[in-house]
């Protein structure tokens, strides 16, 4: 079976509960649609766990991207004994206020190997995955959307920022018979969307989850359309 989940947000406990709930087998595959880190207190531990799983794949989310950019630069500054610029400090403060504070604190207290492994994992994440089931059904998996979308543009030809800044319109069919699956939906401006629920429409599937500790993590099986909440 093939499963998709999104917005784990540093919640290793939610991930472990999900693995048990879906009974993930060696023959199964789990895709995580970005935003692995921030908000929750276990971002380092979660990344460490994911990096050891051969049948679990992640795509890059905007929180993962920000964490990598800022923490890699922060680590470089510390190693060189320099001082951050005013511009960099402002970016760090904004990220910390947007859920990054717990990730920063965990990174600072981690050992050198854990820091390196954390940054390496985030730096290697692709911005999309393409999946084809045995049934022949095809899917495009991304975190949130594609800015400047054009149906004739190859996925590899978009800029990274197009994936980090875009949102999907649930009312629009993007790829015909191919299903677009996203880990985020701007549900406040999308009447069809439901916070914390799966929204499927026009060959789009949106796992519209939030980031609070008490919010459900939402998972869908692509073969059966079964929904799982933990």
Cα–Cα dist 55/107, whole Å:
26
What's the mean pLDDT in 134-152?
Answer: 95
User: What is 128-168 written as a DSSP string?
Assistant: -EEEE-TTS-EEEEESS--TT--TTS-GGGS-HHHHHH---
pLDDT tens figures, 14-67: 999 999 999 999 999 999 999 999 999 999 999 999 999 999 999 999 999 999
pLDDT tens figures, 86-118: 999 999 999 999 999 999 999 999 999 999 999
pLDDT tens figures, 69-82: 999 999 999 899 88
Chain-centre distance of CA 90, in angstroms?
Answer: 24
* Among 111-115, 167-171, 177-181, 190-194, the least confident range: 190-194
**Does 79 fall in a domain?**
no
pTM: predicted TM-score of the whole model, two decimal places: 0.93
Q: What percent of the chain has pLDDT over 70?
A: 92
Per the structure, the complete domain to which residue 192 belongs is given by 2-63+123-229
At residue 9 the predicted structure's pLDDT band, cuts being 50, 70 and 90, is: very high
CATH number for the domain that contains residue 167: 3.60.21.10
Cα–Cα dist 145/161, whole Å:
10
**Does 29 fall in a domain?**
yes
**Does 83 fall in a domain?**
no
CB atoms within 10 A of CB 138: 14
**Does 191 fall in a domain?**
yes
Contact 174, 204 (CB under 8 A): yes
**Does 165 fall in a domain?**
yes
Q: What is the pLDDT of residue 199?
A: 87
**Does 107 fall in a domain?**
no
Total of domains in the chain: 1
**Does 97 fall in a domain?**
no
């Amino acid at each position: 079976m093939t499963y998709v989940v999104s917005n784990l947000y540093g919640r290793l406990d939610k991930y472990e509960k999900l693995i048990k709930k879906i009974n993930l087998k060696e023959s199964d595959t789990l895709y995580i649609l970005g935003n692995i880190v921030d908000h929750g207190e276990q971002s380092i531990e979660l990344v460490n766990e994911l990096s050891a799983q051969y049948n679990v794949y992640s795509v890059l989310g905007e929180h993962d991207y920000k964490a990598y950019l800022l923490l890699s630069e922060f680590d470089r500054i510390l190693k060189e004994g320099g001082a951050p610029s005013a511009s960099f400090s402002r970016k760090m403060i904004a990220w910390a206020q947007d859920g990054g504070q717990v990730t920063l604190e965990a990174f600072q207290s981690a050992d050198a190997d854990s820091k390196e492994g954390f940054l390496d994992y985030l730096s290697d994440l692709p911005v999309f995955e393409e999946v084809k089931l045995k049934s022949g059904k095809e899917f495009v998996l991304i975190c949130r959307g594609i800015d400047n979308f054009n149906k004739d543009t190859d996925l590899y030809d978009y800029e990274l920022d197009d994936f980090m800044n875009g949102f999907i319109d649930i009312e629009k069919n993007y790829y015909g018979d191919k299903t677009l699956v996203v880990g985020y939906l701007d549900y406040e401006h999308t009447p069809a969307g439901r916070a914390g629920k799966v929204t499927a429409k026009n060959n789009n599937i949106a796992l519209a989850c939030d980031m609070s500790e008490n919010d459900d993590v939402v998972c869908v099986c692509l073969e059966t359309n079964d929904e799982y909440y933990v």
